[in-house]
């Protein structure tokens, strides 16, 4: 539970810090830095400045920057899992619909939460201990996709193959698209001829066609 941190510091950032909710304010400030400047610019000092507190205040909640980053990454993967679970629940028991739902969830999360997405997949930000602690959390979305592919193979919807390699291929393809969207590069490539949604729909169709033809 977050502790109430008494401080006379005035609010200097955009995080909207209120007494008693400093932990959330620090995380929000961290996400703002990641979104505006990139993950490598995340520092405890800048997080404190944006939250409007003293430089020492964040250490009441995080022992160092690595712990702050780990917390942000954990929340990001939890949010991705929730997004994916919602799509899978809406898909019901149809394995093909669940496959499509997993893809939509991954696309939608990456584009809707670019700051979370950037830090979640910036492996060079965490020290080895931090990265190891997130291995189970970060694999959940991948396991969703892999298991759905394996089920589709069992039912004869797609040909037999290694679902691990197939999942890696799909995640790599989707990850590349999300990175282009979040870096505002899609319009550089295609202008205004296609929307992000048009390309997303095409990619899902192409991925399925590639699986069926594999």
Domains assigned to the chain: 1-62 (1.10.10.60), 72-212 (1.10.357.10)
**Strands in 38-176 per DSSP E:** none
Query: pTM for the complete prediction?
Result: 0.73
120, 86, 26, 38 alpha-carbon torsion, rounded to 10°:
30
Buried b (16+ CB within 10 A) or exposed e, 130-143: bbebbeebbeebee
The DSSP annotation for 165-211 comes to HHHHHHHHHHHHHHHHHHTT-HHHHHTTSS-HHHHHHHHHHHHHHHH
Question: What is the pLDDT tens value at each position of the chain, 214 positions in all?
Answer: 434 333 333 444 444 444 468 989 999 999 899 888 877 788 899 999 999 999 999 999 998 888 888 888 888 888 888 898 898 899 888 888 888 888 888 899 999 998 888 888 776 665 555 455 565 566 777 888 899 899 999 999 899 999 999 999 999 999 999 999 988 888 888 988 998 889 988 998 999 898 887 5
Strand, coil or helix: what is 151?
helix
């Amino acid at each position: 539970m977050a502790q109430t941190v008494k401080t006379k510091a005035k609010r200097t950032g955009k995080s909207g810090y209120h007494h008693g909710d400093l932990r959330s304010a620090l995380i929000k400030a961290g996400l703002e830095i990641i979104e505006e400047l990139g993950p490598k610019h995340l520092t405890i000092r800048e997080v404190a400045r944006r939250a409007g507190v003293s430089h020492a205040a964040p250490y009441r909640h995080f022992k160092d920057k690595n712990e702050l980053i780990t917390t942000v990454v954990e929340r990001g993967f939890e949010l991705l899992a929730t997004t994916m679970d919602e799509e899978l629940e809406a898909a019901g028991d149809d394995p093909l619909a669940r496959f499509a739902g997993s893809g939509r969830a991954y696309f939608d999360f990456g584009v809707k939460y670019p700051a979370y997405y950037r830090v979640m997949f910036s492996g060079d930000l965490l020290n080895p201990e931090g990265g190891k602690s997130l291995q189970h959390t970060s694999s959940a979305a991948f396991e969703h996709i892999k298991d759905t592919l394996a089920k589709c193979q069992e039912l004869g919807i797609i040909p037999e193959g290694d679902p691990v390699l197939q999942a890696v291929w799909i995640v790599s393809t989707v990850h590349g698209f999300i990175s282009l969207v979040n870096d505002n590069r899609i319009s550089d490539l295609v202008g205004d001829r296609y929307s992000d949604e048009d390309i997303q729909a095409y990619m899902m169709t192409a991925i399925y066609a590639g699986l069926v033809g594999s």
